[in-house]
Structure 1
């Protein structure tokens, strides 16, 4: 996520997803500037596999049709102007080039694909030329032994190549790179794990345990996570069969709080976390999150409530049963990526 220090002012008109880059004058009036800034939210889904792009500077929403029929995990690289998406229908990574040229709805052609190595991709994380994919298929075929796999790809010379596969001793879902450390949710639990110096220390096919695992008090089953400028967002899908018991937690000063909890111990809710949940939130199965620290906006891919939604919360720091500032329908929404330049 590339950032500059901009203020995001939320405006909602005719149900569209509109965010505007702006500055405030000394008298607190909004001065519409920096209209050349790009502020976009990219969304994947498991209904048709297409990419929905919410352009927050123009207020326009476009649909980029892909070759996938289901997709989970998405990333936009501004250096190459391409989207990388994990396809659940073809079990591979697909890259789509020249994204900025598509100003309206369009059909994308795959520019690069990896080999079809995956079984059940759930999220991707990018660090330099490494693309890590979390796959939650049962690695050993024994349902009684939790496990998952992290597929590590390299991107160079116009190719996406599988470097190695890391098997974990817990089921996976969301992952997030924070500098060189890989954070991963421990699926089917309320735990969060970290693998320190992940791509540098795990260069061959191997089975490893996390460098550290802790429980997050108040969460039933975590799925999505997002980190920006010291704040971590964790989603809670609760009972996966329910479309109304979801939540997300905000953990500011995350690094010090996480480091302050011993391996295997619990991070308490009190004085550490803010929980957002309740009927007004429209949260049922929030499977993915993004966060913008400048505007303090929390973005959620909600997979179940209303058939699927993309939600944004501008007042999440208040906690509790709060309504989203933006509520857009997106069938089987699965993953998000926030970008601003």
Structure 2
């Protein structure tokens, strides 16, 4: 077992009661032969890291590790014992060594640190030793001109160094890599943007226009996304109306994503008929801010920030979409980000 003294969760009780006590780039890490599957979660309530062993969906266990941050967002695990998250307290990237002998409730110190130069860090996407963090703070101070920033950090010798900053002409939140291409949600809209060959093309501070933007029909306002290279599946969340954090959220599954995205002209719309939508009161989604996908099981994990104060939700058998009850429901106040890793 990856972590000692994990709290064993009873799914039967959780599903019956509706609660449970105690999830960018390719989430599955391409490691389909791994024996264990973990979902790492961050939150904006206390900044701690929660790890769920979801290897057996009928018996999920969890462990929590205490950090000095009071709030955190984007999270990433390298599969070798280091977990990274974007601290919204220090406004920087932080790495933590979470070894196999750590007991749940252990306080963990920062083992890899970076400059505290962001304003409102959100999602993290990783490509090699380069970490990209989406910052959704208003850059020019004018709310009538949407903008955001993508901070690109290089990790070397136990620390992060800011390589450069890309300013976008839209608000950013969720980001995920497909090879060298970066996909980003256009916050406050139902749009998806592509930055082709992002890291090689954008090596200096600059204001950059996306290579392509399209609308995703059926989504009101998107926040989280993840792309799985092996299965060519994109999953995007829909938080619905920002004023409703309880029951108007959902997520969209787009299979054969690459061909579908390429077939839509810039500024066009990907029809809802080419997607599968999961939403409804039974899903417990009101403000699903992030998503992780396991291509081996086709299970989907959601960081739900609103419903019940915050939850980590797991969904299976989503082929038909609709108002699906999650197979996994764990309370996590102000859940903000999830990442899935096979080890």
Both structures adopt the same fold (TM-score exceeding 0.5): yes
The answer to whether the aligner puts 1:330 opposite 2:329 as a matched pair is no
Q: 1:264 aligns with which of 264, 267, 278?
A: 267
Q: 1:47 aligns with which of 40, 45, 48?
A: 45
In the TM superposition, residue 55 of structure 1 has moved relative to its aligned partner by 1.5
5+ unaligned residues in a row in structure 2: which ranges?
1-9, 15-19, 23-32
CA contact (8 A) 1:17 1:61 kept: no
- 2:116 corresponds in structure 1 to 116
- 1:235 corresponds in structure 2 to 237
- 1:145 corresponds in structure 2 to 145
In 2, Cα distance between the equivalents of 1:17 and 1:296? 24
The answer to whether the aligner puts 1:315 opposite 2:321 as a matched pair is no
Q: 1:305 aligns with which of 307, 313, 318?
A: 307
Q: After superposition, where does 1:214-225 map in structure 2 within 5 Å?
A: 214-225=214-225
CA contact (8 A) 2:147 2:172 kept: yes
CA contact (8 A) 1:17 1:60 kept: no
Q: After superposition, where does 1:77-156 map in structure 2 within 5 Å?
A: 77-79=78-80, 81-156=81-156
CA contact (8 A) 2:21 2:331 kept: no
The answer to whether the aligner puts 1:247 opposite 2:250 as a matched pair is yes
SS at match of 2:110: coil
CA contact (8 A) 1:17 1:54 kept: no
Considering Cα pairs closer than 8 Å and 6+ residues apart, tell me whether 1 or 2 has the greater RCO. Answer: 2
5+ unaligned residues in a row in structure 1: which ranges?
1-10, 19-34
Q: Size of the alignment, in residue pairs?
A: 314
In 2, Cα distance between the equivalents of 1:103 and 1:261? 49
Give the root-mean-square deviation of aligned CA atoms. 1.9
In 1, Cα distance between the equivalents of 2:117 and 2:148? 14
The answer to whether the aligner puts 1:160 opposite 2:163 as a matched pair is no
In the TM superposition, residue 105 of structure 1 has moved relative to its aligned partner by 2.7
The answer to whether the aligner puts 1:12 opposite 2:15 as a matched pair is no
In the TM superposition, residue 206 of structure 1 has moved relative to its aligned partner by 0.4
SS at match of 2:176: strand
Q: After superposition, where does 1:159-178 map in structure 2 within 5 Å?
A: 159-178=159-178
CA contact (8 A) 1:91 1:120 kept: yes
Post-superposition CA distance 1:191-210 (Å, at most 9, x none): 00010111111000000000
SS at match of 1:310: strand
In 2, Cα distance between the equivalents of 1:151 and 1:100? 31
Task: Pick closer, same or farther for the CA change 1:36–1:75 going to 2, 3 Å.
Answer: closer
Post-superposition CA distance 1:271-323 (Å, at most 9, x none): x1001111111010000000011100011000000100100001211201111
- 1:62 corresponds in structure 2 to 63
- 1:288 corresponds in structure 2 to 290
Post-superposition CA distance 1:129-158 (Å, at most 9, x none): 000000000011111000000000000122
In 2, Cα distance between the equivalents of 1:339 and 1:17? 22
CA contact (8 A) 2:98 2:108 kept: no
In the TM superposition, residue 103 of structure 1 has moved relative to its aligned partner by 4.6
CA contact (8 A) 1:136 1:172 kept: yes
Give the structure-1-normalised TM-score. 0.89
In 2, Cα distance between the equivalents of 1:221 and 1:36? 35
Give the structure-2-normalised TM-score. 0.88
SS at match of 1:96: strand
In 2, Cα distance between the equivalents of 1:124 and 1:227? 13
Post-superposition CA distance 1:143-175 (Å, at most 9, x none): 100000000000012221100000000000100
In 1, Cα distance between the equivalents of 2:261 and 2:34? 38
In the TM superposition, residue 63 of structure 1 has moved relative to its aligned partner by 0.6
Post-superposition CA distance 1:63-98 (Å, at most 9, x none): 10001000000000124x201110001101111124
